């Protein structure tokens, strides 16, 4: 095969691979994953277990991160996640993150506001905040009391609950809604 033709094929192949890699990065960068909604306050069908009460407190957080500094943030997020079942008053919890991106989310539901406060001021949570602070570019949190019968069964349900508590022209997490299940 002539060198001109071989050079054209090589450039074509390299260009095709580059285009494919670019398309993958674009699509994967928009994808997010989350852990299942789980917790000690949920029965198998997703409804609240007896003893939860008539209302619960939903807390949702969205963080924008410096991708070059997020390793410690992620490490401490998983430490807190692994310790969640130890917190008295926890009903459910989940975490999510954008693959190849700069966003992370948390969702927790608590039996009462005191349980939420105890968690927020717990040593593991405070240590995680301190360790992850250098990676934070922006953080937003929403806390709302809801009927226990309306415990969300998906992230989408949780977004709807939070959005319903906001003024009509404000969406709690407009970008987040597109990516998490």
- Is a pLDDT exceeding 70 seen at residue 7? no
- Quick one: average pLDDT of 35-64? 86
pLDDT above 90 covers what percent of the chain? 46
What pLDDT does residue 166 have? 75
The domain spans of the chain are: 1-30, 32-179
Report helix, strand or coil for 114: helix
- In angstroms, the Cα distances linking 146 to 19, 138, 158, 165 are 47, 26, 11, 10
Residue 100 pLDDT more than 80? no
Bridge partners of residue 92, in order along the sequence: 109
Average pLDDT for the chain: 80
pLDDT tens per residue across span 53-73: 899 999 999 899 998 888 889
Res 123: pLDDT: 92
132: buried, middle or exposed (CB in 10 Å: 19+, 13-18, 0-12)? buried
pLDDT in tens, 101-159: 888 999 999 999 999 999 999 999 999 999 999 999 998 889 999 999 999 989 889 98
Which pLDDT score, from 0 to 100, does residue 49 have? 79
Lowest mean pLDDT of 87-91, 104-108, 164-168, 171-175, name the range.
Answer: 171-175
Dihedral sign for Cα 27, 34, 133, 167, please: positive
| pLDDT, position 159 | 86
Determine the pLDDT at residue 9.
45
Q: Over 70: is that where the pLDDT of 82 sits?
A: yes
Any idea which residue has 């306050």 for tokens?
Answer: 41
How high is the pLDDT of residue 1? 57
Q: Looking at the domain 32-179, which fold is it?
A: Alpha-Beta Plaits (3.30.70)
């Amino acid at each position: 095969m002539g060198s001109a033709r071989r050079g054209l094929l090589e450039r074509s192949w390299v260009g095709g691979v580059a285009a494919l890699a670019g398309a993958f990065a674009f699509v994967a960068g928009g994808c997010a994953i989350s852990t299942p909604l789980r917790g000690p306050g949920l029965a198998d069908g997703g409804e609240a277990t007896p003893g939860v009460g008539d209302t619960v407190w939903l807390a949702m957080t969205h963080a924008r991160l410096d991708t070059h500094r997020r390793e410690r943030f992620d490490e401490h997020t998983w430490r807190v996640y692994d310790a969640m079942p130890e917190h008295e008053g926890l009903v459910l919890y989940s975490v999510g993150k954008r693959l190849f991106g700069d966003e992370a989310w948390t969702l927790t539901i608590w039996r009462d506001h005191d349980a939420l406060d105890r968690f927020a001021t717990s040593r593991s949570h405070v240590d995680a905040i301190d360790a992850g602070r250098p990676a934070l570019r922006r953080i937003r949190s929403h806390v709302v009391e809801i009927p226990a019968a309306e415990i969300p069964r998906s992230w989408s349900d949780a977004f709807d609950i939070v959005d319903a508590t906001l003024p009509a022209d404000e969406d709690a997490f407009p970008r987040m809604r597109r990516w998490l299940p």
